[in-house]
Amino acid sequence: MKGIAIGIVVAIVGLALWLSTEEVENSVISLHKAGLILAIIGAAEALFALLGLGKKTKK
C-alpha cells in the first residue's frame, strides 16, 4: 500500500511540474522534461506496486 501512495504522489508532483514549467528556462536541466519523467516514473511505480499487491492476494 505504501508503494502505491508514493507512486501516486510522485506522479502528481511530476505532472504539476510538467504543466507549470513550460516557459521556465534553466541552464542545467529542463524542469519541463524532468516533470514528465517524474510523472512517468511515479505512474509506473504505482502500477507495479498494484500488480505486486494483486499477486500477493492470489497466493
User: pLDDT of 4-32, one tens digit each?
Assistant: 999 999 999 999 999 998 888 777 888 88
Domain around 12: 2-58
CA 28 to chain centroid, in Å, comes to 21
pLDDT band at 56 (very low <50, low <70, confident <90, very high): confident
Q: What is the total count of domains within the chain?
A: 1
Percentage of the chain surpassing pLDDT 90?
A: 54
Say what the pLDDT of residue 25 is. 79
Say what the pLDDT of residue 6 is. 93
User: 33 to each of 5, 23, 28, 39, 49, how far by Cα in Å?
Assistant: 23, 12, 12, 10, 24
Give 11: exposed, middle or buried? Use CB within 10 Å, 0-12, 13-18, 19+. buried
The single-letter DSSP state of residue 57 is: H
pTM above 0.95, yes or no: no
